[in-house]
Amino acid sequence: MSGAARLRARIEEGRILVVPGVYDGLSARIATAAGFEAIYCSGGAVARSTGMPDLGLLSMSEVLARLREVVDSTELPVIADADTGYGNALNVVRTVREFERMGAAAIHLEDQVAPKKCGHYSGQQLISAEEMVQKLRAALDTRREMLIVARTDARGHAGLAEAIRRGRLYADAGADLIFIEAPTSREEIETIASSFSEEPLLINMFEGGRTPLIPATELEKMGYRLVIVPSDLQRAAIRAMQVTAEALFRDGSSSAVRERLAPFAARDAIVDLAGWTDLDSRYAEADSPRAQPPGD
């Protein structure tokens, strides 16, 4: 089965799926090794890994290059952040083609004005719901198999009622999952869930965001089917690098934090050094027939 088919089947089981955010090949391998069933290529995490904030500053080509690393590093279905689709409905057509060609099992598109902002920042601006419906239609008409997630950022800009209204319009347009970003209380999370009877719901949860953390088992009972955790792996890596950099600068070595470092062998195992070494041996010149000198 393709990644899209596996992801669709998993969502249809009705059990909640928790998906960690990754941003490069290494983080994708780490998440895969941890046992997750799918991973999320987070636009915000990808942006920060380039030294940029999550303000829609990266081009589609830059994001696709990183998505390729992620897809090539795992057999898991990859859900990708496609921001606003990088323009209008015509741009969405190309976006869907390129993300699906790159191997994404699903993408989410949001109804912000481009360039977008992180959904947990302030100051987002929205396109009209009608324009977003047309962008979703373009995405659905273009995709071959990939799932299309409709995200609305209306909660922070126009209130919960408008966010739910837009979510219903996007569901009626045929979106595979509905993603209402940044509810601010348990009551709002429950209200969103009760407003959709059949449509699978996605929710964004991470430590320190606007949305309170709710256990996955409770979200499942409410009706949510997919939880993305976009930045926690990256934030853990940032803190670990800061601590190690401080020790290196202070002491001239990392001895003070050696217990926090991955062992040398573990570092190589996560990128399958042994597998590549075996390939190197298989194709080594010594194992190949000797080249014959040219005839007279």
Active site residues: 40, 54, 81, 83, 108, 110, 118, 151, 181, 204
Residue 290 buriedness (CB in 10 A; 0-12 / 13-18 / 19+): exposed
Residues 233, 13, 35, 146, Cα dihedral to 10°: -60
CA distance linking residue 295 with residue 16, whole number of Å: 68
Two tokens, residue 184:
């601010």
Q: Do residues 177 and 200 make contact, with C-beta atoms less than 8 angstroms apart?
A: yes
What span, in angstroms and rounded, lies between the C-alpha atoms of 117 and 122? 8
Distances (CA, A) of 135 to 41, 269, 279, 280: 21, 43, 45, 47
